[in-house]
Every structure is written in structure tokens, then in C-alpha cells.
Amino acid sequence: MAQASSEKLYRQAEEIIPGGVNSPVRSCRAVGTHPLFIAKGQGSKIFDVDGNSYIDYVGSWGPLILGHAHPEVVEAIKKAAELGTSFGIPTTLEIELAQMITKLVPSMEMVRMVNSGTEATMSAIRVARGYTGRSKIIKFDGCYHGHADTLLVKAGSGAATLGIPGSAGVPADFVQHTLSLRFNDLDEIAAVMQKQGQEVAAIILEPVAGNMGVVPPKPGFLEGLRKWCDETGALLIFDEVMTGFRLALGGAQELYGVQPDLTCLGKVIGGGLPVGAYGGRREIMSQVAPLGEVYQAGTLSGNPLAVTAGLTTLKILSKPGVYDELEERSNHLFNEMSRLAEKHKVVSTTNRVGSMGCLFFTERTVVDFDSAQTADTQKFAHMFCAMLERGVYLAPSQFEAAFVSLAHDQEDIDKTLAAADEVFKEI
């Protein structure tokens, strides 16, 4: 496909924006090409400035579970914008969204809106430290919780894509209280918690890791973390920025039946607009200013446009049968993708939870960051470019998830599988 206008725009952008992009993975450097510049999105498709259309499995990195420019969401945003885009003063919409979130995610008895997933995780950790009076945080290799200084330790996703071990500009003192352990390894958790559990403020993780591809928890892993937190007084924080309202109406915690003390949300609850939220038990959230001494603020937090888009999206997702439909489509797509790879003797393994999935070019079963990193990124780069030529847009990184939306119909999935059938012959 001709992409001359995108390439020209990228060269212009490189002169005034670091790397030509406003988030690193968008640069497409890991797959050996330049990024597309998008003119519009509609349903399951995106359209670039050269007039090409693509079936989109990125969906703005997860939030567009209804597809692009869903008419009900767009209409709701228009009506909200006519009344004002932001006030920095409370609106009734904030109460309505908070009520819906706390109803659908019972572990969140109180919720505070913020503007991004990074703000949500950063704030939740501050609350955990304030509530427990402890300093240490445990995270897991390959789990990405935004770009706050204390969390950029073996953070997967963009850092893994670009081969960056952490980040320059983060003083060692800032991460001295952050321990990064192996995902899905309860023995390692036990060894650390037996020695240092009384110093640990919180364990934070993506309950389904979506920033090293897609890596589900092993049976008993989440339950084991809950047990250790209960025994030591540490808080369990689920970063459901990606999985919240994506895997189930109540998120991964509903799917796996394990309740955290604090939950971080984003993406879907903004319906495609910038948003984040964190919340948990009332006694913990009562530590947040102005009730308590843990300070956190944001001028645009709970702004009417993002809240309206989120409310509209959640109301649609609350209709009967929605997640069954997503499960059926996703199961078919990823099962068939795996079958086609096997048919063409392409060494790979496929992980899927709900409408999130990832095909890794490795013979290993992917259960943690180490096994994810055995994937052949050159083969993935070839697949990305070849699928793009055939009108299918995947995330430009082996370490990102593919997302199925309600806008993807059978024709989209059939075209995607036909393209994959051709591409696997070349790999």
C-alpha cells in the first residue's frame, strides 16, 4: 500500500517531536518501518492520510471496546461539549460514573477520578504507603504501570520493545524501595514476604499482564498474593487499566474471583478519551485529601467529556450478552490464528484471555517476562509489515496485546485470517 503521505508527515514530526511520536511504541522502530498517520476511524477500521483502510486490532491500545466513533458515544460527547468542556468544579456526571464503577466493581467502595493510568497507579501506591506507613513496593517483571519514576523497573511494554532496561533520569534512590519479582512465581513471593513482608506497603500487578504480550495468571497465583497480603498487612493493588471492563464487566477480579484492596482503572472507562481512576475500601480511600493526609489533585480530573464518554460506554457494555459475543469472536480469531500457524509449521504459542490475545514466535509456553522475551521479534516484525500490506493493523510490538472489539464482525475476522494464512507461508 502506498504510504507516502504518512512517511512525509513522519519526517516533519521528527523535527519537532522526540522520535516523531508522542508515545514511544508508536514510532514502529521495532518493526522496521515508519508509523501511519491516521485521518479517521470508523467501527473496526482506521483510515490513514493516504486513503488506505485497515482492520484495527489496537483500538487506541484497548479502550475502544465498542469500536471507533461509536455513534452513541460520539453523540453523547457532542452534547456534553455544548455545555462546556471542563470546569474544575464538580458536576453530577462525576457522581453518576463513580456510582456505576462502584456498583460494577464491588471492591471499589470509593473512587477518585484522574486523567491517566499512570496517575492512577502512582496515586494508588501513594495511598498504600500512607495507609500502611510502609515504604516498599513489590511489582513484577514485565508488568507496566505507567511511567512514574518508582515503577519504571523491568516495566515491559514500550521499554521492552525498544530494548530500554529502565529509564535515564530516574535516580537510584527513587527505586530503592521497589522490588521487581517474577510474574507467576509464588515461591519467589514467599521468600521475599517471609523476610520483608512487614516492610511492604503493597503488591501491585496487572492481574492479566498485557504489557509483555498477554500473560494470564497461573491457577492460584492471585489467590496466593491475596493470602500474603492478608498475612502481612500489605495491600494488594490490581492495575486493571487494561483489563478493567475489557475482560468482564467487573474486570479481571470478577473473572478470577480475587478482590484487591485497591484497583486502578483507565482506558475503557473513558470511552476513548483520556481518563483514569483508582479506588478501593472506604477506610483506605478515606486517607485521600481532603479527608486524609495523602495528597493528590488534578485540574481536569472527572471532566465532563471523558466522564460522559465513559458512562455511555459502560451502559452499552452492561447490556446482556455483550461479553459472550466478545468471547465468541475472540476465541474464534485466536484459535484459528494458532491453527494456521501450526498448519504452516510456524513455531509459536498463543495466549488469550477474553478479548485480549497475543501470538508469540516461540516454542516456550509464555508465563512470565523471561519466557515472553524468547519470542523471535524479527519474525514478528515481518508479520506486522506483511499484515499491514494486507490491510490488517496489529500493535507494532511483540510485547503488546491485540484487542477485539464489538465492531469486529465475521467479515473482518475472515479477512484477518485469510491474510494470516498468506503471511505464515512466508515466515
- Catalytic site residues? 144, 239, 267
What is the C-alpha separation between 77 and 314, in angstroms, rounded? 14
Q: Work out whether the CA dihedral 73, 313, 271, 369 comes out positive or negative.
A: negative
Contacts with 137 (C-beta within 8 Å, 6 or more apart), sequence order: 125, 128, 129, 150, 177, 178, 179, 200, 201, 202, 203, 204
Closest by Cα among 101, 93, 104, 145 to 124: 145
CB 164 within 8 A of CB 99: no
DSSP-H helix ranges across 234-360: 251-256, 282-285, 304-317, 322-343
DSSP string for 134-151: --EEEEETT----S-GGG
Q: Which triple of cell numbers denotes residue 98?
A: 463513580
Q: What is the DSSP letter of 399?
A: T
Residue 40, SS3? Answer: strand
Residue 352, SS3? Answer: strand
Q: Please return the burial class of 100, using the count of CB atoms within 10 Å of its CB with bins 0-12, 13-18 and 19+.
A: middle
Contacts with 376 (C-beta within 8 Å, 6 or more apart), sequence order: 347, 361, 362
Q: H or E element: which one contains 42?
A: strand 38-42
**φ, ψ (nearest 5 deg) of residue 113:** -80, 140
Q: Which triple of cell numbers denotes residue 346?
A: 510456524
What is the C-alpha separation between 185 and 182, in angstroms, rounded? 6
Contacts with 113 (C-beta within 8 Å, 6 or more apart), sequence order: 94, 97, 98, 275, 276, 277, 298, 301, 302, 307
Q: Which triple of cell numbers denotes residue 361?
A: 514466535
